[in-house]
Chains A and B, each alone.
Chain A
Amino acid sequence: MRTLRPGSPTAILVRLAIVTLTIATGWIHLTLGGLLFTLNGAGYLVAAVAMVLPLALAMRFRWLIRIGLVGYALAAIVGWYLMGPRYDLAYIAKAIEVALIALLLLEIRSFDGNPITHVRRTVTTLLRA
């Protein structure tokens, strides 16, 4: 798996694809109705915004947003696998989520490295404060 250079056209395209895929699966979930799907869809939309929010705090913790979004998409896939209905729109949503996870892992590998290092650094910073 190749890595991305920050600010390169490929990195920008990957980020754009992540946001597009996140909005796409969020929108699909919002169209399904019911509290669970609505909350799931809203969560994806919030994550899409967090991925591009130009605030210092969001930029500092983007590694956490990426990991959170991977976990969120994984939970959606596992939840569907265990009890979700099998039909065309569900397959599309899950394929989108798999592609989303792939791109997020590419970003994590390129920009974040080992997430445990980030967790350690954040905890140390918080303890010192």
Chain B
Amino acid sequence: MPGRSSLALLAFLAAALLGACGPNDALGLTEAPASLDPNSPTLTAKDIAFSATELDVAAGAPFILVVHNDDTVSHNVSIYRDGTTTDPVFKGVVFPGAGTTRWYPVPALAAGTYTFKCDLHPNMTGTLRAS
């Protein structure tokens, strides 16, 4: 019966949507922390591109990733274990543009090469080296 199958589809969609609405674990400070290192890694988003495609950080120590959004659209930065971008080690909160900044508290990373990207715009990607 079309009625039953339609209802079943809707129930499935609603359940899937609710299931996807888990706790938002993305992080991002709206104000610079008092202890901010002036040499903190920094990215600027503009014209759907990042200002840098390579970042270097110290391994084994948490750091603040400063992200300026000078674009007209929202962006974020997440860090993934590798180029497949399926295993995140840090997820940054999505935030609107027009000259706003977020300070991402990234936990300590083991030495290695990671991939960072904007989760909204897959072409905005780069390499982060922890050493």
**Which positions 23-68 of chain A face chain B at CB distance < 8 Å?**
31-34, 36-37
SS of A interface (majority): helix
Chain A residues with CB below 8 A from B70, complex form: none
Check B48–A33 contact: CB distance below 8 A. yes
Give the distance to chain B from A17, nearest Cβ to Cβ, in Å: 15
Give the distance to chain A from B16, nearest Cβ to Cβ, in Å: 6
Interface segment out of the listed A4-12, A88-96, A118-126? A88-96
Q: Given A1, A36, A77, which contacts B7 in the complex, CB threshold below 8 Å?
A: A1
Check A109–B6 contact: CB distance below 8 A. yes
Number of A residues near B (Cβ < 8 Å) is: 28
With A32-B73, A34-B121, A98-B13 as given contacts, are A86 and B2 in contact (CB-CB < 8 Å)? no
Number of B residues near A (Cβ < 8 Å) is: 28
Chain A residues with CB below 8 A from B2, complex form: 108-109, 113-114
Check B26–A86 contact: CB distance below 8 A. yes
Check A86–B17 contact: CB distance below 8 A. no
**Is B106 positioned at the interface, with any CB of A under 8 Å from its CB?**
no
Chain B: which residue is nearest A80 at the CB level? B20
Q: Given B14, B21, B71, B73, which contacts A86 in the complex, CB threshold below 8 Å?
A: B21
Chain B residues with CB below 8 A from A77, complex form: 13, 16-17
Cα(A33)–Cα(B120), bound, Å:
9
**Is B130 positioned at the interface, with any CB of A under 8 Å from its CB?**
no
Chain B: which residue is nearest A34 at the CB level? B121
Can you list 10 A-B contacts (CB < 8 A)? A31-B73, A33-B71, A34-B48, A74-B13, A84-B119, A85-B119, A86-B20, A86-B22, A108-B2, A113-B2
Known contacts A34-B123, A87-B94, then 8 further A-B pairs from the complex at CB < 8 Å, ordered by chain A residue: A33-B73, A33-B120, A34-B121, A86-B20, A86-B21, A87-B26, A98-B17, A113-B2
